Amino acid sequence: MTTSISAPKVVLLAVHLATKADIDSLTSLASQHDKVLHTELLLRILLTCLPETLKSSEYVSLLERIDADVVEEHPKDIDCSSVEHFTETEATKKVRRLRLLPLAAPGVSKEALGDPISLFLIQRAHRVDEEAGLLTQLPDLIVPFLDHSPCIRSWMISALLPLLRRNHEYYPDNPIHYTLSEFENLNDRAAVSLLLDQTGNREEDLPFIGRDLRGLMGPWLYNDARWKREDGNRADLCVVSESGEATLKRNLCPGWEQMLEWLTTHASKSWKVAVNAIEQWDGLDDVDLGGYGCMWFKDEEQGYLEQRYARAALASAYLIPEASVEALAGVNSIIAKIMALLDQDPYPTLQVASTILPPYSDNGTESMLCPKNATMMRNNLLEESNILTTPSARSTRLLHALTLSAFILTKAGALCTVRRAGELAFLQHEREQEAEALNFINKLRNNAPKADDKYWIRARNELMWLRDWGAEEAEESSHGKIHGVFGQLKKEFLEVECLKAFLSSGRYSLARSIFEDSPAKPLSNEVLEGTIIAAAMNAYDDASNTNRSRGRLLECDDIIHAFPKTMPENNPAAQRIEALLKATHGLSKYRLVLKPNQPFRPVVLRVHSDPISIIGKVLEQNPESHTRLQDFLEIGANMVEAGLATRDKPGKPSPTSEEMSEQRSLAEKRVTAMCVDAALTEDDFETAYSYVVNRLGSIGGSTPVGSSARQASAFVDDYSWKAALQAGKYRRTARTLRPTHIGTSSGNPDIRHLEKRMECLSAALRIAPPATLQEILNVFRRCEEELDAAVKTEDEQESAWDDKGDVKAMPGAFSMTVPAGVKKQTRAKSRQEEAPMSLFELSRVSMSRAQQNFNLLSSLQRSGQARDDAQDAQGELEHTPGQPKARKRDQLREAAVGTLASGVGWLIGAQPVKPNENE
Ligand SMILES: *[C@@H]1O[C@H](CO)[C@@H](O)[C@H](O)[C@H]1NC(C)=O
Ligand SMILES: *[C@@H]1O[C@H](CO)[C@@H](O)[C@H](O)[C@H]1NC(C)=O
Ligand SMILES: *[C@@H]1O[C@H](CO)[C@@H](O)[C@H](O)[C@H]1NC(C)=O
């Protein structure tokens, strides 16, 4: 028994037993000497001496005994040997030297003061954590005493539990490096940010964000100390503002504010954390106190915390920087959460909403959608004054309209965040809206499934909704029209863009049914026609192939034929485009390269400053194509019909029918002239000759030669006479293609060729402007001399033949029927006749003296009629066999002279002789 030992020795023995962790003996000792080992002393001994590594369960019963003040009935024997050998003086001295720790430590809560057990538990917990690092042992120590005092419960839940979970349960690999007591002494913001600093950091942590908020934030709030009152008293949470609405004082719970900032900061960086947080956590109603208690807040506290949480959630929606369908679906779930908090019916999913396209209405006294309010999406999101983040039906309606807008755009591929949608709707910048709308339509077009009218019907509905957010056109709310994200854009503009998209996606019948057949007629006829033409031309200009049965040209073709009411066949624009397609398609049969290594594109034709010249390129690049004159004439005519010849002169009235016919005839001549040139280049004189005499010669009459009309007309035919002259200059070489059909008129190819050249030259004379006549005459004269020489040579050869020939040796009929002498005579005579009429002489005289010598002129006019004869002459030349050569030359000369007469007549102001005009 230890009843006999002195008080100092009891104390020393208790210290000894505590140090050895002999709880049983210590319990007995305390029981027997409860006067000496009173509660506080015993607790101090335990606090100081009991090893911190000792399991809590070993000494909790002792503590409970102390707490309950129970006395042991059958005390056991205690080994006193450790203190027996001390004298009383030694013992007293030793007790005095014991440095027992005090129970009260700085920073302990007021409620715990005067409660040794509470003080002990908290101090003991701190020491177990600091000395042994055994935080996990502490629940065993504390839980039995939860009912001992409210301060133990709130300390356990608000301090120990969060740190324990954070460091040992949730993120043991990344613990907070603070002791329990250091953690308790952190300010609210620092503590909360440490608690949450691992939350949602890794993808695999995302499902646990709700757990963290529930299990860390919730318990942490379970403490009155978390509430800050400016004056240190329990201030009224509500202050009444001028408007009469109750608003809450800011920053009453700094830790909660910290959590909200954590949330919004994450929203602006990683939407997944914010959205998961809000989806997974319902706020105050959703806390996990580990079964150690239940949360209870005053109504105003509860209201404050909930309002702030909802505001942060709304703020997060505006802050989310990612434009993706997933992120926006996340925003929608945020809205749903807030509506639930506000006891409102939730909106459907965005997918469903985008098919319903619900109307947006704002029946506040003043619209929230004003430019000034745009800054509220960026700044002071958590401020009470921010109406966008004030949890209310009004703010959620607006957020929903913005989210749905962003979703519709993003879904199509025109990525848009809530904030971007907000900027479009708040600021109402027309340019920005237009760019966004065009981008949207473009993406719709690029991502359009093949042949899906439903897709486009829906897209159009969405586009229109984005403009007015479903408000009826006529209906105006109390403060003007509702303007959606495309509110500044005219309905017509959007309809036109829609129509363009329909057409470029090949949705012709859909376009027809909406824009042409429907009674609603979204576009006026004029605009509709203009858009169709523009779309057709767009397709045309985009085409890479000149074949109208293919690619974009086919599209162009389809577009102008898709609207029979708007673009009937007699529509001038439709006709022009049809002609353009024909002209283009005409080129598709030929090789054509304007720039090296660049295939010819239809648009080049349309914008070419001289489209008909392209035919020249075709002729150059396609050997023998000059024989296909008819083809090229058609192409040229179609170019004229397509309006290419007079294109693009701004302010110029469309050509009159006379102008058109002039253009047509000019094009015809020019194309023919090109074929003549091409034929000559390829040494195909016969074809050139035939085009000159059959076409240029005959059509030449239609342009008034030498008249004043020549200058007045914008379309001067400088092509025909030049081509005729070129042909007239052509000299036969070995390369010259032989005529396929040799006329019987002359067996001598040189003579025949010279005659044909002279025909060409006389055609040139008929159609050339006066200033050029001299040049042509020079050529004509040389040609004539050559012909004379050739004829002479031939005559001589024939005479030589005749002279040397023997009638018997040559049984042919010719020399038999015509005596040689007669023949010679005839030739001499014809040459005599020619002499005074030398064309060269004639021209020289006429050019120099015409004005004075009227006699000469009238003698020239006498042969004016020869023009017509000349035209007939070629036929005669070809088809009348056996005519003497002299006769033919005369005819040629006559023809030339007739032309000259009219030309010179013009020079001196006389009326040209033009029999054609009389008809
Ligand atoms: C308009 O506001 C009143 C309250 O001012 C509210 O009861 C009503 O539901 C609102 N209307 C709509 C369409 O939101
Ligand atoms: C935002 O709009 C509201 C109207 O709903 C208006 O009362 C408020 O002054 C605006 N805020 C700012 C910052 O312009
Ligand atoms: C034009 O395209 C159609 C269809 O591909 C083809 O049948 C035709 O032969 C093409 N014409 C030319 C001249 O290439």
Q: Domain for residue 61, yes or no?
A: yes
Whether 736 has a pLDDT exceeding 90, the answer reads no
Confidence of residue 796 (pLDDT cuts 50, 70, 90): confident
Question: Which residues have CB under 6 Å of ligand 3?
Answer: 547, 549-550, 588-589
- Note whether 99 and 19 are within 8 A (CB): no
Segment 198-214, tens digit of pLDDT? 999 999 999 999 999 99
- Note whether 815 and 804 are within 8 A (CB): no
Q: Domain for residue 92, yes or no?
A: yes
Most confident of 530-539, 893-902, 905-914: 530-539
- Least Cα distance to 870 among 761, 738, 790, 772 occurs for 761
Confidence of residue 743 (pLDDT cuts 50, 70, 90): low
Nearest atom within ligand 1 for CA of residue 361:
13
How many C-beta neighbours within 10 Å does residue 687 have?
22
CA-to-CA dists, residue 393 to 346, 363, 378, angstroms: 11, 11, 21
For the segment 875-899, the average pLDDT, to the nearest whole number, is 52
Nearest CA to ligand 1 atom 1: 363
Poorest-pLDDT segment among 187-191, 431-435, 507-511, 570-574? 570-574
Measured in Å, residue 395 CA sits from the centre of ligand 1 at 13
For ligand 2, whether the C-beta of 370 sits within 6 Å is yes
Poorest-pLDDT segment among 431-445, 757-771, 827-841, 880-894? 827-841
Confidence of residue 320 (pLDDT cuts 50, 70, 90): very high
Which residue would you say has higher pLDDT here, 216 or 620? 216
For the segment 758-782, the average pLDDT, to the nearest whole number, is 83
Phi, psi of 882 (to 5 degrees): 80, 5
Measured in Å, residue 384 CA sits from the centre of ligand 1 at 22
**Separation between Cα atoms, residue 184 and residue 178, nearest integer Å:** 9
Nearest CA to ligand 1 atom 6: 363
Measured in Å, residue 249 CA sits from the centre of ligand 2 at 21
**Separation between Cα atoms, residue 406 and residue 227, nearest integer Å:** 39
For the segment 513-520, the average pLDDT, to the nearest whole number, is 92
Segment 90-118, tens digit of pLDDT? 999 999 999 999 998 777 777 788 899 99
Our mutation pick for probing the ligand 1 site, out of 339, 344, 363, counting the most ligand atoms within 8 A of Cβ, is: 363
Measured in Å, residue 407 CA sits from the centre of ligand 1 at 26
Per the listing, tokens 């958590």 go with 382
Whether 763 has a pLDDT exceeding 60, the answer reads yes
Confidence of residue 595 (pLDDT cuts 50, 70, 90): confident
Measured in Å, residue 363 CA sits from the centre of ligand 1 at 6
Q: Domain for residue 266, yes or no?
A: no
Nearest atom within ligand 1 for CA of residue 363:
1
DSSP letter assigned to residue 480 = B
Hey, what amino acid is at 558? D
Nearest atom within ligand 2 for CA of residue 376:
13
Q: Domain for residue 58, yes or no?
A: yes
Which residue would you say has higher pLDDT here, 456 or 480? 456
Whether 611 has a pLDDT exceeding 80, the answer reads yes
**Separation between Cα atoms, residue 916 and residue 919, nearest integer Å:** 6
For the segment 45-59, the average pLDDT, to the nearest whole number, is 94
* pLDDT value at residue 791: 83
For the segment 229-235, the average pLDDT, to the nearest whole number, is 47
Nearest atom within ligand 1 for CA of residue 393:
14
Measured in Å, residue 354 CA sits from the centre of ligand 2 at 29
Q: Domain for residue 70, yes or no?
A: yes
For ligand 2, whether the C-beta of 368 sits within 6 Å is yes
Residue partners of 527: CB distance under 8 A and separation at least 6: 492, 496
* pLDDT value at residue 882: 44
Q: Tell me what percent of the residues of the chain surpass a pLDDT of 90.
A: 44
Residue partners of 3: CB distance under 8 A and separation at least 6: 32
- Note whether 642 and 580 are within 8 A (CB): yes
* pLDDT value at residue 745: 56
Whether 835 has a pLDDT exceeding 90, the answer reads no
Domain around 71: 7-96
Whether 874 has a pLDDT exceeding 70, the answer reads no
Domain count, the chain: 1
Measured in Å, residue 488 CA sits from the centre of ligand 1 at 26
Nearest CA to ligand 2 atom 11: 373
- Note whether 467 and 489 are within 8 A (CB): yes
Nearest CA to ligand 2 atom 7: 366
For ligand 2, whether the C-beta of 79 sits within 6 Å is no
- Note whether 12 and 91 are within 8 A (CB): yes
Our mutation pick for probing the ligand 2 site, out of 245, 373, 395, counting the most ligand atoms within 8 A of Cβ, is: 373
Nearest CA to ligand 1 atom 9: 363
**Separation between Cα atoms, residue 194 and residue 175, nearest integer Å:** 9
CA-to-CA dists, residue 296 to 250, 263, 285, 337, 366, angstroms: 21, 24, 10, 22, 39
* pLDDT value at residue 232: 47
Q: Domain for residue 374, yes or no?
A: no
Q: What share of the chain is helix, strand, coil (3-state, %, to 5)?
A: 65, 0, 35
Total residue length of the chain: 919
Helix (H, G, I), strand (E, B) or coil at 598: strand
Q: Which ligand is nearest to the CA of 547?
A: 3
- Least Cα distance to 885 among 790, 821, 782 occurs for 790
Give alpha helix (H) positions in 562-656: 572-587, 602-607, 613-621, 629-641
Q: What is the DSSP string of 852-907?
A: T-HHHHHHHHHGGGHHHHHHHHHHHHHH-TT--HHHHHHHHHHHHHHHHHHHHHHH
How many C-beta neighbours within 10 Å does residue 790 have?
17
DSSP letter assigned to residue 389 = S
Q: Residue by residue, what is the 3-state secondary structure of 617-638?
A: HHHHHCCCHHHCHHHHHHHHHH
* pLDDT value at residue 827: 46
Give alpha helix (H) positions in 390-515: 393-412, 418-427, 430-446, 453-468, 491-504, 508-511
Measured in Å, residue 385 CA sits from the centre of ligand 2 at 10
Whether 579 has a pLDDT exceeding 70, the answer reads yes
Segment 373-421, tens digit of pLDDT? 999 999 999 998 999 999 999 999 999 999 999 999 999 999 999 999 9
What does the buried/exposed string (b/e) look like for 565-603 if buried means 16 or more CB atoms within 10 Å of the residue's CB? ebbeeebebbbbbbbbbbbbbbbbebebeeeeeeebbbb
- Note whether 573 and 533 are within 8 A (CB): yes
* pLDDT value at residue 739: 72
Whether 576 has a pLDDT exceeding 80, the answer reads yes
Confidence of residue 597 (pLDDT cuts 50, 70, 90): confident
For ligand 2, whether the C-beta of 735 sits within 6 Å is no
Measured in Å, residue 367 CA sits from the centre of ligand 2 at 8
- Note whether 25 and 99 are within 8 A (CB): no
Nearest CA to ligand 2 atom 3: 368
Poorest-pLDDT segment among 180-184, 668-672, 731-735? 731-735
Whether 582 has a pLDDT exceeding 50, the answer reads yes
Question: Which residues have CB under 6 Å of ligand 1?
Answer: 361, 363
- Note whether 787 and 889 are within 8 A (CB): yes
Helix (H, G, I), strand (E, B) or coil at 679: helix
Nearest CA to ligand 3 atom 13: 589
Measured in Å, residue 547 CA sits from the centre of ligand 3 at 6
Whether 803 has a pLDDT exceeding 80, the answer reads no
Measured in Å, residue 372 CA sits from the centre of ligand 2 at 7
Which residue would you say has higher pLDDT here, 901 or 118? 118
- Least Cα distance to 132 among 21, 11, 13 occurs for 21
Measured in Å, residue 386 CA sits from the centre of ligand 2 at 9
Distance between start and end Cα atoms, the chain: 162
Our mutation pick for probing the ligand 3 site, out of 544, 545, 550, counting the most ligand atoms within 8 A of Cβ, is: 550
Measured in Å, residue 483 CA sits from the centre of ligand 1 at 19
CA-to-CA dists, residue 743 to 312, 679, 688, 794, angstroms: 103, 20, 16, 18
Residue partners of 346: CB distance under 8 A and separation at least 6: 335, 336, 339, 340
Phi, psi of 417 (to 5 degrees): -90, 170
Nearest CA to ligand 1 atom 4: 363
Q: Which ligand is nearest to the CA of 380?
A: 2
Q: Domain for residue 692, yes or no?
A: no
Measured in Å, residue 374 CA sits from the centre of ligand 2 at 9
**Separation between Cα atoms, residue 764 and residue 759, nearest integer Å:** 9
* pLDDT value at residue 334: 94
Instruction: Give the Cα-Cα-Cα angle 601, 605, 607 (nearest 5 degrees).
Output: 110
Q: Domain for residue 67, yes or no?
A: yes
CA-to-CA dists, residue 238 to 249, 273, 310, 384, 619, angstroms: 7, 32, 18, 13, 93
Mean pLDDT score of the chain: 81
Q: Tell me what percent of the residues of the chain surpass a pLDDT of 70.
A: 78
Measured in Å, residue 863 CA sits from the centre of ligand 3 at 55
Poorest-pLDDT segment among 280-289, 327-336, 452-461, 644-653? 644-653
Whether 314 has a pLDDT exceeding 70, the answer reads yes
The token pair at 687 is 């074809």
Phi, psi of 229 (to 5 degrees): -115, 135
Our mutation pick for probing the ligand 3 site, out of 544, 549, 584, 591, counting the most ligand atoms within 8 A of Cβ, is: 549
**Separation between Cα atoms, residue 306 and residue 385, nearest integer Å:** 17
